[in-house]
């Protein structure tokens, strides 16, 4: 068994495509493609060549890839320089990198 300090996370690899919703309580890193909603209570990291076609709801996010859908972050949303979102964005704090 792990200690209380260990944090679980989920990873969708670069060569993986998920067709369906992802719902979880942990952090998630997406390097591949998701066609469906992403609803996580933790942090979402979307890598540069990754994409999501669906709405996103999370606690916090660092986005470098593409999203076709609405994004709703409870706290901080960081958009890297090559991030692209087609949809509405809602966040308590928004950071847009040059």
Q: Which residue has the tokens 């493609």?
A: 33
Structural domain boundaries of the chain? 9-96
How far apart (Å, rounded) are the C-alpha atoms in residues 39 and 10? 12
Write the pLDDT tens digit of every residue in 84-96. 999 999 999 999 9
31-78 pLDDT per residue, tens:
999 999 999 999 999 999 999 999 999 999 999 999 999 999 999 999
Number of H helices, E strands in the chain: 0, 14
Residue 21's φ and ψ, nearest 5 degrees, are -75, 150
Name the one residue in this structure whose structure tokens are 């992802």. 22
Q: Taking the complete model, does pTM exceed 0.95, yes or no?
A: no
Q: What mean pLDDT is predicted for residues 19-28?
A: 95
């Amino acid at each position: 068994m792990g200690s209380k300090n260990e944090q679980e996370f989920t990873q969708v690899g670069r060569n993986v495509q998920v067709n369906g919703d992802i719902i979880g309580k942990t952090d998630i890193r997406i390097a591949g493609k998701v066609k469906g909603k992403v609803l996580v209570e933790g942090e979402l990291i979307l890598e540069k060549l990754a994409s999501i076609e669906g709405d996103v709801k999370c606690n916090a996010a660092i986005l470098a890839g593409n999203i076709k859908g609405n994004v709703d972050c409870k706290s901080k949303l960081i958009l890297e320089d090559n991030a692209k979102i087609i949809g509405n964005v809602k966040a308590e704090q928004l950071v847009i990198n040059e």
